[in-house]
Amino acid sequence: MPDLDDTPFTEQERIFLGELSRSRTRFVLVGLAAAVVQGADTVTQDLDFWFESLDSPAIGAAARAAGGFYSTRTQPPLNRGEGLDRIDIVTHCDGLDEFDAEYANTSPLSVDDFEIRVLDLRRIIASKEAAGRPKDRAVLEQLRAALAAIGSSRAP
């Protein structure tokens, strides 16, 4: 996956993600934000992150470093603060395997001086199909078109 020169992340989001990366906290960017950074012609208003463990103290430390806070007492867990309001923490992804299996098939995305892991477009499509919500079904055509375009760009 290419470096992301024109990052879609706010300064506070980059601080949060950088702190997580440096602490080696395992997480994956999922959902439409992951599709967008892979070239899907769609938009999203949030950044969905799936963590290996919500109990990791590094999540709260990263949020504090970015001027925010993290609370596991809400469902779903809450990560907020100025510039962090687009971050959503997901605890389950419809149609996907357990975290470890999905993490093994992620791609790295370079942001600033660190990398984050991004769910493969095929798996995003599988999750949207399994969820079956109207908003998920509405983007499937764009996601499949992006997957076809990526596939043809990798062909010899």
Q: 76-91: per-residue pLDDT in tens?
A: 556 667 778 888 888 8
Average pLDDT over residues 27-44: 91
d(CA 98, CA 28) in angstroms, rounded, equals: 12
What pLDDT, on a 0 to 100 scale, did the predictor assign at position 156?
A: 42
pLDDT for the residue 78: 63
- For the chain, domains (ranges, CATH) are 11-147 (3.30.460)
| Whether the predicted pLDDT of 7 surpasses 80 | no
For residue 151, with 0-12 CB atoms within 10 Å meaning exposed, 13-18 middle and 19 or more buried, which class applies? exposed
Q: How far apart are CA 67 and CA 62, in angstroms?
A: 9
Cis omega (within 30 of 0) for bond into 57 = no
**What is the dihedral sign for C-alpha 2, 39, 63, 59?**
negative
Residues 47, 36 contacting (CB under 8 angstroms): no
